[in-house]
């Protein structure tokens, strides 16, 4: 398995993987309306735009030429904005490798902390990666209030 920078041609596969992960992993934690609002944000078109404009740094985990994970960060905000692993590949270390790759990239900048808004389903994962819970919060996605947990890792 390798982690690499996402390419424009990865966008459709990234979108499919993320949508499926949102439903399968986060379904028990959120309402159907919240899941639908969240899924609308992860279109192939949106990923192509993010890859092209360069304001975000996107990586993929690839196994046997198949994308099995996606990681997204906003370097200017020193924030990881998403990490998703293919449902069939969870608990294989892929999420850890994606987060480590994003952290490594951020640490090449003058930062002393990284923040993220964890989904309710991923809080324990991020704690194992050294992130500390700061507070329960929410984000607005397509008009829906989506509960999450603000977490920070200091260096």
Domains and CATH numbers, the chain: 2-154 (3.40.630.30)
pTM for the full model? 0.92
Residue 155, pLDDT score: 82
8 Å CB contact between 58 and 5: yes
8 Å CB contact between 39 and 146: no
**What string of pLDDT tens digits covers the 155 residues of the chain?**
999 999 999 999 999 999 999 999 999 999 999 999 999 989 999 999 999 998 899 999 999 999 999 999 999 999 999 999 999 999 999 999 999 999 999 888 888 899 999 999 999 999 999 999 999 999 999 999 999 999 999 98
Neighbouring residues of 112: CB distance < 8 A, sequence distance ≥ 6: 154, 155
């Amino acid at each position: 398995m390798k982690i690499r920078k996402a390419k424009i041609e990865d966008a459709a596969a990234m979108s499919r993987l993320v949508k499926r992960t949102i439903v399968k992993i986060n379904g028990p934690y959120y309402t159907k309306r919240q899941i639908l609002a969240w899924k609308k944000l992860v279109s192939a078109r949106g990923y192509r735009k993010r890859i092209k404009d360069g304001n975000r740094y996107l990586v993929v985990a690839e196994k046997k030429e198949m994308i099995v994970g996606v990681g997204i960060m906003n370097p200017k905000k020193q924030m990881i904005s998403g990490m998703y692993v293919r449902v069939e590949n969870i608990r294989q270390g892929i999420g850890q490798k994606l987060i480590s790759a994003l952290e490594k990239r951020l640490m090449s900048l003058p930062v002393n902390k990284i923040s993220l808004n964890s989904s309710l389903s991923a809080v324990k994962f991020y704690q194992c990666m050294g992130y500390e819970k700061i507070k329960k919060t929410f984000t607005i996605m397509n008009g829906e209030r989506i509960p999450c947990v603000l977490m920070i890792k200091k260096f």
